[in-house]
Amino acid sequence: MRFEETPLAGAYRVWPEPLSDDRGFFARTACADEFAAHGLVGAFAQSSVSFNARRGTVRGMHFSASPHAETKLVRCTAGAIHDVIVDLRPDSSSYLKSFATELTAGNRCALYIPAGFAHGFQALTDAAEMLYMIDRAYVAGSARGLRWNDPALDVAWPEPVAVIAERDLAYPDWSA
């Protein structure tokens, strides 16, 4: 795997390095030892999938509050998505900055999202599917979110919003 730092402290794009032959290829997508060598969480307690029927669907911006803040490794397994993270850690050099990347089934890139970040995405295709690997069990009482179009976050969504949950529309703007 190849780890590529993003402009946000502690967040990485993780690229598989396929070993190819006439059958196709084989590639690791997670390895506890390699993640640890980069100072990253490499053990994931939970795996989840998000299926998005319509292009333009927005999910986010979601995070879990301490002490249940989650580290995530996300990957698009079908279609394509515009993935966005925002650093909500007040002591971070990248506090309130955002980063976006395109994750597709074809590029097989994953995004490593440290605890303390908000995360969201927009489906760029119909039938876009995301795989989440999460370092701890979900605690519903710690679930939080920010409004997807909060001006303080300065997130640019590439397409008009076609579908969004009432819950995501009702989240408040960020206030430290």
Catalytic site residue from 62, 82, 112, 119: 62
Q: In what order do the strands lie in the sheet with 110-113?
A: 2-5, 12-15, 110-113, 72-78, 128-134, 46-52
Q: Is 119 a catalytic residue?
A: no
Contact criterion met (CB below 8 Å) for 111 and 83: yes
Q: Is 62 a catalytic residue?
A: yes
Write out the H or E segment, with its range, that includes residue 170.
helix 166-170
* Alpha carbons 120 and 62: distance in angstroms, whole number: 6
Catalytic site residue from 38, 68, 95, 132: 132
Q: Which two tokens stand for residue 28?
A: 């690791």
Q: Which residues are catalytic?
A: 62, 132
